[in-house]
A and B are shown apart, each in its own frame.
Chain A
Amino acid sequence: MNRLGKQTIHFDNPPTIVETASIVGPKEAQGPMAGYFDQCLEDEFWGEKTWEKAESKIIKETVNLAVTKSGIPATNIDFCFAGDLLNQCISSSFGLRELNIPFFGIFGACSTFVEGMCLASICLEGGAANNVLCATSSHFCSAEKQFRFPLELGNQRPPTAQWTVTGSGAAVLSSSGNGPFITHITPGKIIDMGIKDANNMGAAMAPAAFDTLMTHFEDTGRKPSYYDAIITGDLGHVGKDILEDLCKTKGYNINANYDDCGVLIFDKSKQDTHSGGSGCACIRNSIFWLFLQTIT
């Protein structure tokens, strides 16, 4: 493990993503990526009485699925990195309380899953663990309740608004394996360009994505064309356009192989999701798609 440039970490023995699992809600199941999920729910409650309990159940079942699929017994998993959008990360902490694996609760909002994978990779490469679990969840209804308005309130959403993905994703990472590998990580900085519109998260997040991408290219000496795919989490249609523009100002053209999970997960024309998907589960569930694309 060594540092490259300003903020990139390179792994000498890169951790392997052994297996992943995902469970999503009914709206995601109607989207273009429906075929790539392990399980699609018929309703947002899944037999529970509250949105929060439903979200806990989703992450619990997803983690169980990922562990089962990986073939690694839960007792051999050394640490768990998990988080979600709700106060005190209650979905993860209540959902995973019976898991009996040492737990790092993390909050990175929409970046939680990737943040978890970054920390897990460092943990694996540093020799602190052999197998690590990463998980995250988000739920449209619990997120609306906590951050916006009650669902029954009769208001209008502007075209720049995004739709929180209902679902959960989990991955089991191991220090040994045949790939796919995590070879480099470039944690980004907090970049605030002063966007105050709470309904335009794509524009608020795009400058940070831009800064991280530019730093990654400089640190590794690579160009966008080196990659099969460059994927951002949930910039949505608006943020994606902005990021492409911002990259051009620095002389990088990423349009050919760049895509955004918030854009991919819903069909904008049919699903009334405005600028696209968002939330912790967004990147996770789209990464699963990417995962299939790259290894098959």
Chain B
Amino acid sequence: MNPIETPKQYSDYVDKKSPNSPILKNCFNAFWVGGLICSIGQIIFDFCKYKEMDVTSSNTVVSIVLIGIAAFLTGLNIFNKIGKFAGAGSLIPITGFANSIVSPAIEYKSEGYVMGVGGKMFTVAGPVLVFGISASVIIGIIATLFA
């Protein structure tokens, strides 16, 4: 092995030396778990339609039910195990968003309800909200200008 002098040489060496994540396995698990969560959402949606609800209300019911289940499973210490197995499969659907808000709420409860739960609830989901809302505002402006 050649002597390593510069950060670049070291970085290249470390990249080769460090084990990689099992990408194929992770993708496969993310695919089927993510698909399953979305299918459950579709079943709830179809059930709402069957009960003669309109599309907007049905969509809202789907979100509420999936968020409720994910929050409940987070509290039972089960969702993190699903997340470890499925990765993006449970993170990308709205279940991941619920988990990212409930988990800091549980973790920081020990620091009080105002500064702990209230202040730190959005430490993980904060960036999603900031950039999600910012993007929707920009899109809204563009849509208004060209409407």
Are A and B a genuine interacting pair, yes or no?
yes
Binary A-proximity of B68-92 (CB < 8 A = 1, otherwise 0): 0000001101011111101100110
Is the beta-carbon distance between A150 and B107 smaller than 8 angstroms? yes
Q: Which A residues lie at the B interface, using CB under 8 A?
A: 49-52, 145, 149-160, 193-195, 200, 203, 207, 238, 241-242, 245-246, 248-250
Task: State the CA gap A241–B1 with chains docked (Å).
Answer: 13
Q: Which of B4, B10, B96, B106 contacts A152 (CB 8 A)?
A: B106
Is the beta-carbon distance between A195 and B11 smaller than 8 angstroms? yes
Is the beta-carbon distance between A154 and B106 smaller than 8 angstroms? no
Asked if B100 is at the interface of the complex by the 8 Å CB criterion, the answer is yes
Q: Which of A149, A156, A203, A241 contacts B26 (CB 8 A)?
A: A156
Asked if B34 is at the interface of the complex by the 8 Å CB criterion, the answer is no
Task: State the CA gap A269–B91 with chains docked (Å).
Answer: 27
Binary A-proximity of B96-130 (CB < 8 A = 1, otherwise 0): 10011011101110100000000000001000000
Q: For B60, what are the chain A residues with a Cβ–Cβ distance below 8 Å?
A: none
Q: Which of B19, B86, B99, B103 contacts A160 (CB 8 A)?
A: B19
Q: How many residues of B contact A (CB 8 A)?
A: 39
Q: For B107, what are the chain A residues with a Cβ–Cβ distance below 8 Å?
A: 145, 150-152
Is the beta-carbon distance between B1 and A248 smaller than 8 angstroms? yes
Q: Which of A52, A157, A200, A249 contacts B2 (CB 8 A)?
A: A249
Shortest Cβ distance from residue A156 to the other chain B in the assembled complex, whole angstroms: 5
Is the beta-carbon distance between B4 and A151 smaller than 8 angstroms? no
Is the beta-carbon distance between A203 and B77 smaller than 8 angstroms? no
Q: Which of B14, B74, B86, B90 contacts A242 (CB 8 A)?
A: B14
Q: Which of A51, A149, A152 contacts B79 (CB 8 A)?
A: A152
Is the beta-carbon distance between A152 and B19 smaller than 8 angstroms? no
Q: For B144, what are the chain A residues with a Cβ–Cβ distance below 8 Å?
A: none
Is the beta-carbon distance between A152 and B103 smaller than 8 angstroms? yes
Asked if B21 is at the interface of the complex by the 8 Å CB criterion, the answer is yes
